[in-house]
Amino acid sequence: MFDKALLSLKDEMIQALCTNLRIQSDAQPPEEGKPNGPGVARALEHALRVAAQLGFSIKEVDGHAGYAEYGEGEEMVAVLGHLDVVPAGEGWQHPPYAGIIENGRIYGRGTTDDKGPMFAALFALKAIKDSGLPLRRRIRILFGTSEETGSADMAYYSTHEELPLAGFTPDAKFPVINAEKGILNIWFIKEFSDLEEAAVALNRLQCGSALNMVPAQATAELALHGQVIQVKTSGVSAHASRPESGQSAAAPMLDFLSHQDLPLTMQDAFAFLAYSLGQETLGENLGLAMEDEVSGKLTINLGMLEADMHQIRGGLNIRYPVTASKDLVLSKLSASLYEGGFDIESITNTPPLYVDESTELVRILMDVFSKKTGLDLSPMSTGGGTYARSLPNILAFGPQFPEQSDLCHQADEYVEIPYLIKTAQIMASAMYELAK
């Protein structure tokens, strides 16, 4: 219904997306009216400016969010996505903030997560608007600004703005995700005092840049025999919801440090972490192994680690099954860490999400996907924490197709232009079905 219109909008969509990709919008220290830093604020300002140029009413929600809206009616349905991104990290062959097009691909941080699908949604709404088809409900394209750092944006939005009757977020995979694991972010610590004499001292250890990324780099600075040396280890970054698809740089670093002539207490601590967390992704060595039929196995990621002669401090990202209890996970984890001499410093929890596949929202989205692709699939679960949990009545719907590799949070993130158009076409049909 909207396919031809979106093909005619392709060049304009690509230009708008590439412009936004050139704005570095990872979280930075807040400024007045810019709660997630100036880069995120510029990305939001640009998206709203494009929306206004397309003829939509727009609103900025105190720097925390913004939206474009079309249609009339008391009820509103929404497409929810985010313009903030994770840090670029290492290993890029294409500049992460240049919006480069090469061989039919658009490269840049955010092309799949989540700028690409959000500009696809915006131009999908333009196709609906241009069609002139009657709608019973308003459609809102809702731009968030802090999905990658805890979704405080939607907490603010929820207390200041209208909530959607239903909707979706293109923040994961097709066809529909109706089950999302619970997410625990945990910082643990071990402090040292009165360490015994040793030939080697650890001046600094730094590994990882975000809890929800498998660390690709680790650096340690050691002092020995009057000299200072620097040691680096490398890995392969991946999203923490699928840590098995990456290779942690923490593992070889922990193994290395556990065999250095550091104070024995430190050696033991590093040896414990190397065994229990190194390349561990299922929590087995911490007694955390568990799974259910709906969402699969628990996963664990040592996303960040820092240390010196005073302390070792690390951050874990744990994705636990939808039928599991966070209290059970925490009790097992705290007992295991205590055995290694570590204490839990802080905990944040995002509860699991599960919506039965017989509900109307699931059925509508599944029907649209089936008709547009010819694929007969079932709703799925994920270990990823999508934006669906940040507002009620929202499910994850796209943008990754079953045949595509997952590029979220990885170096040389890209979107293939035909898939960008295909995503826009599917979202246009989904928005129309929810709003008509």
The CA distances from residue 161 to 17, 156, 391, in Å, are 26, 9, 11
Evaluate the CA torsion angle 222, 225, 226, 230 in order and state its sign: negative
The one catalytic residue among 147, 153, 171, 413:
147
In this structure, are residues 115 and 17 in contact, taking their beta carbons and an 8 Å threshold?
yes
Specify whether 84 is catalytic.
Answer: yes
DSSP 379-408: -EEESS--GGGGSTTEEE--EE-TTSPP-T
The catalytically annotated residue of 84, 113, 153, 280 is 84
Token pair 């990882």: residue: 208
Question: Is 45 annotated as catalytic?
Answer: no
- Contact call for residues 425 and 200 (beta carbons, < 8 A): no
Quote the CA–CA distance of 436 and 133 in Å, as a whole number.
9
Q: Say if residues 184 and 349 touch (Cβ distance below 8 Å).
A: yes
Closest C-alpha to 233, from 213, 211, 206: 206
Measured CA to CA, the distance from residue 21 to residue 15 in angstroms comes to 10
- Whole-Å CA distances, 102 to 18, 70, 98, 107: 12, 34, 12, 8
Which of 420, 417, 430 shows the shortest CA–CA distance to 372? Answer: 430
Q: Which two tokens stand for residue 230?
A: 């620097």
Cα–Cα nearest to 81, from 111, 49, 52: 111
In whole angstroms, how far apart are CA 84 and each of 4, 27, 88, 158?
A: 30, 7, 12, 18
In terms of residues, how long is the chain?
A: 436
DSSP per-residue letters across 60-107 = EETTTEEEEEE--SS-EEEEEEE--B----S--SS-TTS-EEETTEEE
The residue type found at 156 is Y
Beta-bridge mates of residue 316: 186, 302
Catalytic machinery residues: 84, 147
